[in-house]
Amino acid sequence: MQQRDEGGGTEAQAKDVCLRLLTDRARSRHELEVSLAKKGFTPEIASAVLDRLEKAKLVDDESFAQQWVQSRHKYSGKGKRALSMELRNKGVSNELAVHALDLIDADDERQRAAELVRKRFRTLQLPDPSGPDARTERDKVVRKLVGMLARRGYSQSMAFAVVKEQLDRAGADTEDFDGPDSM
């Protein structure tokens, strides 16, 4: 069982690699498989070690997905679409990803988007509403804010609604603001 295969390592060495990686943060089984493959461990050794780590509850894709979604939503401000792609890239099954993403409801996602817009809004200058280019300048601010939310995985409709709400609070003229179709 502790034999060294050509180009690989022993199960004990593979286990050590996995445990070192798991001390940084939780990881999906797929991430660990990829790491072991890069280090030259055979698929058989990787599979045996990961099976044992799963039995010991040290590798659990469901728990990983839930932790990932909560953390990335709260601290990085990621929306569901971005989180779904991240989980897919981490090798989490679609079923587990959907279950983890269900932990974030629409209100939570909208609140987080509003927080991000408020924070970013503080650094932006709203144009003088009586200025000749007021609408053009306002639309630039809107594009910046909506773009920021889009890059973080928020839907276009939610992004425009949250930005309009912030503009209204700031006293900007949004009477002609129709959302995505007006850009």
Q: Average pLDDT for residues 169-179, to the nearest whole number?
A: 68
User: What pLDDT score does 23 carry?
Assistant: 95
Measure the CA–CA gap between 133 and 173, rounded to whole angstroms: 13
pLDDT exceeds cutoff 70 at 176: no
User: What pLDDT score does 98 carry?
Assistant: 96
**DSSP secondary structure code for residue 5 in this structure:** P
Q: Average pLDDT for residues 119-132, to the nearest whole number?
A: 79
Measure the CA–CA gap between 85 and 10, rounded to whole angstroms: 33
Helical (H) or strand (E) element with 9: none
- pTM comes to 0.81
User: What pLDDT score does 141 carry?
Assistant: 87
User: What pLDDT score does 138 carry?
Assistant: 82
Query: What token pair was written down for 158?
Result: 């939610």
